[in-house]
Amino acid sequence: MGLLIEDDNDGGEVLIPPANFSMVEDGVYRSGFPQLENFGFLSTLNLKSIIYLCAEPYPEENLKSLQSNNIKLFQFGIQGKTDPPTPMPKDTVLSALRVLVDVRNHPILIHCKQGKHRTGCLVGCLRKVQNWCLSSVLEEYQNCAGLKWRQRDLAFIEEFDVHGLRQCLYSIIYQYNGYGLKRRKLLYQEENLVVQEQHKPQATKGW
């Protein structure tokens, strides 16, 4: 777990996670917008990448911190609160999801402004890729959004289709690992192998 047992009274650093910080999966974190005071905490995560989901340019001091820690920034400009409300852009979320499921980018932090709506939608889509049941996906979204949860975000997550992405993941695994039984068993129930082979995606189309 890498417990930090430095003691504030003994001169160790008090760690200040960004607002609304939590761990999503091994090597995947989510939060609100990191401030200067959070940089010490973030350095304990040994991040390789950040997915930033706002349209506004990344602040200069955050950029400097990324550069000095060799952290790659993936920005997907999604509008926040607008009047009238703008629908969450499916294609942009799908692009972010592709970065997110690529373990070469881990450890990775996802953040927007509050870490509730845009971040919550992306994490919700990840859970669908992971085959979580929908009610659990929506519960997680709501727990993290608190009183500010939005009905249209729940609808977005519910409607978001992860089949295309899954097929791409299959195709990449086929490409890099061949058609051996051992790898296929990781993906499919054995009794479905024949059906799966018929639906095998073509190369890495769409990536």
Q: Which of residues 118-147 bind a copy of itself (CB under 8 A)?
A: 129-133, 136, 139-140, 143-144, 146
Q: Quick check: 192 binds a copy of itself (CB under 8 A)? A: yes
Close Cβ partners of 101 (under 8 Å, ≥ 6 residues apart): 126, 129, 165, 169
Helix or strand (DSSP H, E) at 77: strand 72-78
Min CB(159)–a copy of itself separation in Å: 15
Min CB(170)–a copy of itself separation in Å: 7
Among 24, 93, 112, 154, binds a copy of itself (CB under 8 A): 24
Residue from 54, 112, 121, 168 carrying the catalytic annotation: 112
Q: Are 73 and 58 in contact (CB under 8 A)?
A: yes
Burial level of 88, CB count in 10 A (0-12/13-18/19+)? buried
Distances (CA, A) of 183 to 24, 176, 177: 25, 10, 7
Cβ count near 164 (within 10 Å):
12
Distance CA 137, CA 121 (A): 10
Total of residues contacting a copy of itself (CB under 8 A): 54
Q: Are 116 and 144 in contact (CB under 8 A)?
A: yes
Q: Quick check: 58 binds a copy of itself (CB under 8 A)? A: no
Q: Which of these ranges, 18-26, 66-74, 82-90, 153-161, lies near a copy of itself under the rule CB under 8 A?
A: 18-26
Min CB(201)–a copy of itself separation in Å: 12
| 112 tagged catalytic | yes
Min CB(83)–a copy of itself separation in Å: 27
Q: Are 79 and 53 in contact (CB under 8 A)?
A: no
Q: Quick check: 69 binds a copy of itself (CB under 8 A)? A: no
Q: Which of residues 151-170 bind a copy of itself (CB under 8 A)?
A: 163, 166, 169-170
Phi-psi region of 76 (alpha: psi -120 to 50; beta: other; left: phi over 0): beta
Binding site for a copy of itself (CB under 8 A): 1-17, 19-28, 41, 101, 103, 106, 129-133, 136, 139-140, 143-144, 146, 163, 166, 169-170, 187-189, 191-192, 195-196, 199
Active-site annotation, residues: 112
